[in-house]
Amino acid sequence: MVEFSHTACLGAGVIGASWTALFLASGRSVAVFDPAPTAEKSVRDYIESAWPAMSELGLTEQGNPDAVTFHSSASAAVEGASFVQENVPERVAIKQATFAEIEPVLDPDAVVASSASGLTLSQMQGGWQNPARFVLGHPFNPPHLIPLVEVMGNDKTAAGVVDAADRFYKSTGKVTIRVNKEVPGHVANRLQAAVWREAIHLVMEGVANVEDVDKAMWAGPGLRWAAMGPTMLFNLGAGDGGLQSFCDHFAGTFNGWWDGLGTPHLDEDTIRTLVAGVTQEAKGKTPTQLSAERDALIVAMQRAAHSLREPSGSS
């Protein structure tokens, strides 16, 4: 029997619709709530468009794309659900109000996870009378294709709940990491923010244009990072000497680079420069066309990775 066989998704924007598709693909039923009048159509359309890519990745063997229902309130959607993924707008008041609404009708053993990327777990816990079953479950967009989920509990989280969330996500094909200390943005967002900061600095300093900075990433370190993380890659970069040898040789170089990294801000001039650059880089392609290209590349890379290793996560 599938653990957490009936799930709920609260909020059906891009993230919520993607989670819904993935949960359905894993053989679970999903109850969806979103106040938008077009929510049902947009979610069904999203499921239909996402299904072929998930099938290519072998994620739909137990799935049923029609095992989805739509509800007029968050409280109605969570009734009977054993796992709830919350994706409502990233505003503390909205999230806390949602939690206050659903808490009285939740199954006592249900796990509720938030997709929040900017808000912290402790900020959101204020919406609960008892946040023991509430965790962070932050994905990367789109969740049905990008494996990563950042999972976190704290001293208010009941024993075993983080493990249960971790187990659930892995059963849907996800790769999980544990966030052990609360910081805004969690782990992966802070990493990409650091890289984007320097990318912007290089553009604004005239070192390279937007397209070439992007190209330097996807044709260079991005390929390696898709295989292994930066510390392991540098460990391999020194051969048998490993990371110790690498640091012995390059510590001064990296310290000098770090001292010279930029600290740009997204002011009007910077934003205008970036928008013009990415518009030129798109070469007339629509966001829909570019998204399709992105998804096709992600699927191809994931298929290649799956042929070499099974998805696994740290615990």
pTM: 0.90
Same domain, 234 and 100: no
Residue 300 included in any domain: no
The whole-angstrom separation of Cα 53 and Cα 302 is 10
Give 257-283 pLDDT, tens digit per residue.
999 999 999 999 999 999 999 999 999
Q: Which of 46, 108, 97 is nearest to 74 (CA)?
A: 97
Same domain, 233 and 108: no
Same domain, 49 and 157: yes
What is the CATH number for 226? Answer: 1.10.1040.10
Domain boundary among 150, 178, 206: 178
Residue 170 included in any domain: yes
Same domain, 171 and 237: no
Average pLDDT of the chain to the nearest whole number: 94
Task: Please state, for a pLDDT cut of 70, what percent of the chain lies above it.
Answer: 97
73 close to 45: Cβ distance less than 8 angstroms = no
Same domain, 251 and 150: no
The whole-angstrom separation of Cα 213 and Cα 211 is 6
Same domain, 158 and 200: no
78 has pLDDT over 90? yes
311 has pLDDT over 70? no
The total number of structural domains in the chain stands at 2
The whole-angstrom separation of Cα 48 and Cα 30 is 15
Same domain, 128 and 212: no
Q: Which of 170, 185, 210 is nearest to 118 (CA)?
A: 185
Give 38-74 pLDDT, tens digit per residue.
999 999 999 999 999 999 999 999 999 999 999 999 9
* Other Cβ atoms closer than 10 A to 162: 23
Q: Which of 226, 232, 61 is nearest to 148 (CA)?
A: 226
Q: What is the pLDDT of residue 308?
A: 76
Same domain, 100 and 119: yes
Same domain, 29 and 172: yes
The whole-angstrom separation of Cα 197 and Cα 219 is 19
Give 151-184 pLDDT, tens digit per residue.
999 999 999 999 999 999 999 999 999 999 999 9
What is the CATH number for 41? Answer: 3.40.50.720
Residue 16 included in any domain: yes
Type of residue at 3: E
Count CA atoms within 13 Å of residue 131 on its CB side.
21
31 close to 81: Cβ distance less than 8 angstroms = yes
Domain boundary among 147, 178, 209: 178
* Other Cβ atoms closer than 10 A to 270: 15
Residue 99 included in any domain: yes
Range of the domain at 254: 188-284
Same domain, 41 and 168: yes
Same domain, 192 and 171: no
96 close to 57: Cβ distance less than 8 angstroms = no
Same domain, 41 and 147: yes
